[in-house]
C-alpha cells in the first residue's frame, strides 16, 4: 500500500481563492475539518523510537500538541540530546500527522527543557521497557 | 571546510522544508550529525573481515599463541588484529559515534574517505611485510598508515573543537586520539630502530611499551570515553557522577603515562603505575555499575551484555598485569606464556568482545537509518532489534566466552591443540556474528516495512473522537 504521506503535501480539492459570491467557510466548518487531539496522539503512537522499540507517546516524548485549522504543532523532546535518531523521529512525526485528514502543515518543535527522564513514560511505556516502581 | 558533499541529503532536506507543508524548528539544530552511511560502513566491514582472517590464521597456526610471542608471525597477526581489525572498526565507529556523542557534525567526510584508503593500504602492507620480515618496507607502509592516522586525528580534533560540551566523553576521546598519535610514533621509532641501531632501549621493552600505548591508550581509552554516552543511552539511564567519570579518565591517563616510561626504561616503578591505572579502571567500573543500577530498561539487550562482559574482562587482565609487573618476576616458561595470555585477553577478550557488542548497536542503526529513516511515519518500520536474531546473539556470546576460556588456558600451558580448539570456538562465534550481520544487511536489499495504521476519527470536537485504526 502506498501511503498518502509519501507525498509531502496533501493535495487539496479546495480552490486557492474562493469564487466571488461563494460562501466563506465558517469557524465550525474549519473546526470540523481538524483532527482532535486524541486522533493526533493516536497517529503519533505509530511513530516508534527504533532503538527502544516503543512509540514516542508512551515514551513520554510528546510535551504538547496544538491544533489549529489545517496545522498541527507538536512540542517534543528525545530520550537523549544528540540522539542519533532525532532527525528520523522528527520527520516521522511530520509524516504521520500529514497522513491525517485536515492536516496540511505540521510544525515540530524540538525542545530539551525540561530534559526527558524515564518517569515521563506512561504505564504502557514503563511496562514496555520492563520498568516497575 | 564543509562542502555540500559533506552534508547528508536528509540534513539538506531538513534545512529547506517545502514551504507551508512541514516546518521544523526548535531550541537546538535538528539536522542530523551522523555522516552518510557508507563512510563508517566501509571501515566496519573491512575491520570485521580482518578480525575473521586473524582468528582463521590462529586456527591454522595455533603455535603463534602456544609459543613465545617475539617472532615475525605473531607480530604480523597482532597487527592484523590491532590495525586491520580493531583500529579500523574503532575509526569507523568514531566517524559515526563522535558526531552523535558530541552533538556536532563531523568536520570533513572527504578527509575520512582519503584516510580509509591510506589506512587500508598501510595496514595490509604492514601485515604482509611483517610476515616476510621486511622491516624497511614495514616502515614505508607504516608511514602511509601514519599519514592516514594524522588525517583521522585532525578530523576528529576539529570535530571535538566544534563540540559545545566538555566532559569525560570529550576528555576520553581527546586522550585516546593523543595516545594514538604517540602509539604510531613509537611504532615508527621501533621500525627505524630495527633498521638502524641507535635506540638505547631494549627491543622487547620498546615493543611492550608500544603495545601498552596502543591497547590501553587508544583502544581502552576510546571505549571508556564513549561508554559514558552510549551505556546510559542504551540502558535508559544517566551518568551518576561526572566527577567520578573524569577521575577515571585522569587516573588511567596518569597511570598509562607512567607505565609507558617505566616499561621502556625497565624501572621497578612500573608496578606503582600499573596500580594507578588499575585504580582508574576501578573508578570507571564503579561509575558503569552505578549507571547500570540506575537503568530504567530492565533487560539488557545482547549488544550491551557483550559490552559489559568485555568490561568485566578487565579484571583478569588487570590481575595478570600486576603479576607480570611484579618486581624481579622469574622468567619461566609459564610466565612468558602468561604474557601471551595477557595480550590475548586484552585484545580478544576485552577490546574485540566490547567491539562486537557495540557493532550490534552501530550496524543495525546504520542499516536502519539508510533503509527506514525516511519511511518512519509513512509506513510501519521495524525496530532495530527486529533486524537481527537475539538467539544468534546469545549463541555467539556463549561460543565466544567458551573460546576465550579454552584459548586462554591452552595458551598459558603452551598447548597448541587446545589453542586450535579454542580459536575454532572463537571462529564459530564470529561465523554466527557474520550470519547475524547478514540478516541485518539483508534489509538493505529487501526492506520489510508494513502498512501504517492510519487513525480515522470523527473530526472536529476535541475529546469526542471515535478512534478506529485502519490499515
**What ipTM is given for this predicted complex?**
0.70
Least confident of A69-73, B88-92, B383-387: A69-73
Tens-place pLDDT, residues B304-349: 999 999 999 999 999 999 999 998 888 888 999 999 999 999 999 9
Partner B contacted by A102 (CB < 8 A) = yes
Asked whether A92 and A49 are in contact (CB, 8 A), the reply is: no
For the record, the C-alpha cell of B267 comes out as 624501572
Partner B contacted by A125 (CB < 8 A) = no
- Domains of chain A, residue spans: 29-117
Residues of A with Cβ-Cβ distance to B453 under 8 angstroms = 46
Q: What is the mean pLDDT of residues B90-97?
A: 91
Q: How far apart are CA A17 and CA A21, in angstroms?
A: 11
Percent of chain B with pLDDT over 90: 69
pLDDT at B467: 35
Q: Collect all residues with Cβ–Cβ distance below 8 Å to A13 and sequence separation of at least 6.
A: none
Q: Do B22 and A53 touch (CB under 8 A)?
A: no
> Tens-of-pLDDT digits for all 133 residues of chain A?
333 333 333 333 333 333 333 333 344 444 557 888 899 999 999 999 988 889 999 999 999 999 988 889 999 998 877 677 777 888 899 999 998 888 999 999 988 888 888 889 999 999 888 876 5
Q: Do B376 and A50 touch (CB under 8 A)?
A: yes
Residues of B with Cβ-Cβ distance to A36 under 8 angstroms = 457, 459-465
Q: For residue B378, give the nearest of A82, A95, A121 by CB distance.
A: A95
Percent of chain B with pLDDT over 70: 88
CA distances (Å), B116 to each of B46, B91, B95, B193, in order? 10, 9, 11, 28
Tens-place pLDDT, residues B61-83: 999 999 887 789 999 999 999 99
pLDDT band with cut points at 50, 70 and 90 for residue B168? very high
For the record, the C-alpha cell of B464 comes out as 469526542
Partner A contacted by B19 (CB < 8 A) = no
Q: Do A79 and B236 touch (CB under 8 A)?
A: yes
pLDDT band with cut points at 50, 70 and 90 for residue B34? low
> What sign does the dihedral A40-A42-A43-A44 (CA atoms) show?
positive
- Can you give the three-state secondary structure of B107-151, one letter per residue? CCHHHHHHHHHHHHHHHHHHHHHHHCCCHHHHHHHHHHHHHHHHH
Alpha helices for A1-133 (secondary structure H): 27-33, 37-44, 86-98, 123-129
Q: How far apart are CA B37 and CA A84, in angstroms?
A: 12
Helix (H, G, I), strand (E, B) or coil at B448: coil
Q: For residue A110, give the nearest of B18, B27, B382 by CB distance.
A: B27
Phi-psi region of A11 (alpha: psi -120 to 50; beta: other; left: phi over 0): beta
Tens-place pLDDT, residues A38-60: 999 999 999 999 888 899 999 99
Q: For residue A84, give the nearest of B30, B34, B451 by CB distance.
A: B34
**Would you say residue B363 has pLDDT above 60?**
yes
Q: What is the mean pLDDT of residues B125-130?
A: 97
Q: In CATH, what number does A29-117 get?
A: 3.30.300.130
Partner B contacted by A9 (CB < 8 A) = yes
Partner B contacted by A23 (CB < 8 A) = no
Q: Do B462 and A3 touch (CB under 8 A)?
A: no
Residue keyed to cell 513520554: A60
pLDDT at B21: 38
- Secondary structure letter of residue A19 according to DSSP: P
Closest residue in A to B366 (Cα–Cα):
A84
Q: Collect all residues with Cβ–Cβ distance below 8 Å to B80 and sequence separation of at least 6.
A: B50, B53, B54, B57, B123, B127
Amino acid at each position: 500500500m502506498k501511503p498518502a504521506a509519501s507525498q509531502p503535501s496533501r493535495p487539496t480539492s479546495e480552490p486557492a481563492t474562493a469564487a466571488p459570491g461563494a460562501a466563506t467557510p465558517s469557524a465550525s466548518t474549519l473546526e470540523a475539518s481538524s483532527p482532535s487531539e486524541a486522533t493526533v496522539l493516536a497517529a503519533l503512537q505509530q511513530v516508534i523510537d527504533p532503538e527502544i522499540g516503543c512509540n514516542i507517546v508512551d515514551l513520554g516524548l510528546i510535551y504538547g500538541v496544538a491544533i489549529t485549522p489545517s496545522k498541527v504543532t507538536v512540542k517534543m523532546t528525545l530520550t537523549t540530546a544528540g540522539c542519533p535518531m532525532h532527525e528520523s523521529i522528527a520527520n516521522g512525526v511530520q509524516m504521520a500527522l500529514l497522513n491525517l485528514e485536515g492536516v496540511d502543515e505540521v510544525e515540530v518543535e524540538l525542545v530539551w527543557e525540561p530534559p526527558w527522564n524515564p518517569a515521563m513514560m506512561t504505564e504502557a511505556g514503563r511496562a514496555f521497557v520492563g520498568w516497575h516502581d | 571546510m564543509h562542502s555540500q558533499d559533506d552534508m547528508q541529503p536528509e540534513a539538506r532536506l531538513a534545512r529547506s522544508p517545502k514551504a507551508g507543508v512541514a516546518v521544523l524548528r526548535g531550541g537546538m539544530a535538528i539536522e542530523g550529525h551522523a555522516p552518510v552511511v557508507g563512510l563508517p560502513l566501509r571501515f566496519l566491514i573491512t575491520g570485521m573481515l580482518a578480525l575473521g582472517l586473524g582468528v582463521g590464521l590462529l586456527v591454522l597456526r595455533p603455535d603463534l599463541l602456544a609459543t613465545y610471542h617475539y617472532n615475525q608471525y605473531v607480530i604480523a597477526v597482532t597487527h592484523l588484529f590491532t590495525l586491520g581489525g580493531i583500529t579500523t572498526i574503532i575509526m569507523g565507529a568514531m566517524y559515526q559515534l563522535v558526531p552523535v556523542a558530541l552533538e556536532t557534525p563531523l568536520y570533513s567526510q572527504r578527509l575520512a574517505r582519503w584516510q580509509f584508503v591510506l589506512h587500508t593500504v598501510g595496514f595490509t602492507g604492514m601485515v604482509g611485510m611483517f610476515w616476510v620480515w621486511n622491516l624497511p618496507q614495514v616502515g614505508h607502509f607504516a608511514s602511509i598508515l601514519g599519514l592516514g592516522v594524522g588525517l583521522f586525528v585532525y578530523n576528529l580534533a576539529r570535530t571535538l573543537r566544534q563540540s559545545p560540551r566538555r566532559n569525560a566523553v570529550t576528555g576520553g576521546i581527546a586522550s585516546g586520539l593523543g595516545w594514538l598519535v604517540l602509539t604510531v610514533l613509537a611504532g615508527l621509532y621501533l621500525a627505524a630502530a630495527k633498521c638502524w641501531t641507535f635506540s638505547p632501549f631494549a627491543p622487547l621493552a620498546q615493543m611492550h611499551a608500544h603495545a601498552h600505548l596502543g591497547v590501553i591508550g587508544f583502544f581502552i581509552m576510546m571505549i571508556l570515553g564513549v561508554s559514558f554516552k552510549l551505556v546510559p543511552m542504551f540502558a535508559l539511564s544517566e551518568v551518576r557522577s561526572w566527577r567520578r567519570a573524569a577521575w577515571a579518565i585522569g587516573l588511567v591517563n596518569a597511570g598509562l603515562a607512567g607505565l609507558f616510561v617505566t616499561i621502556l626504561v625497565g624501572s621497578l616503578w612500573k608496578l606503582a603505575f600499573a596500580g594507578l591505572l588499575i585504580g582508574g579502571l576501578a573508578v570507571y567500573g564503579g561509575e558503569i555499575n552505578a549507571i547500570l543500577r540506575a537503568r530504567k530498561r530492565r533487560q539488557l539487550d545482547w549488544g550491551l551484555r557483550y559490552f559489559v562482559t568485555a568490561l568485566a574482562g578487565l579484571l583478569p587482565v588487570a590481575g595478570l598485569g600486576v603479576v607480570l609487573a611484579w618486581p624481579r618476576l622469574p622468567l619461566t616458561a609459564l610466565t612468558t606464556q602468561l604474557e601471551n595470555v595477557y595480550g590475548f585477553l586484552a585484545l580478544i577478550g576485552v577490546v574485540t568482545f566490547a567491539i562486537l557488542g557495540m557493532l550490534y548497536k552501530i550496524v543495525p542503526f546504520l542499516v536502519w537509518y539508510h533503509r527506514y529513516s525516511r519511511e518512519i511515519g509513512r509506513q510501519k518500520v521495524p525496530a532495530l532489534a527486529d533486524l537481527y536474531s537475539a538467539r544468534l546473539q546469545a549463541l555467539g556470546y556463549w561460543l565466544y566466552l567458551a573460546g576465550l576460556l579454552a584459548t586462554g588456558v591452552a595458551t598459558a600451558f603452551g598447548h597448541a591443540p587446545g589453542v586450535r580448539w579454542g580459536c575454532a570456538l572463537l571462529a564459530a562465534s564470529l561465523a554466527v556474528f557474520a550470519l547475524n550481520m547478514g540478516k541485518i544487511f539483508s534489509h538493505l536489499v529487501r526492506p520489510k516495512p508494513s502498512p501504517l495504521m492510519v487513525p480515522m476519527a470523527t473530526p472536529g470536537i476535541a475529546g469526542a473522537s471515535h478512534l478506529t485504526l485502519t490499515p
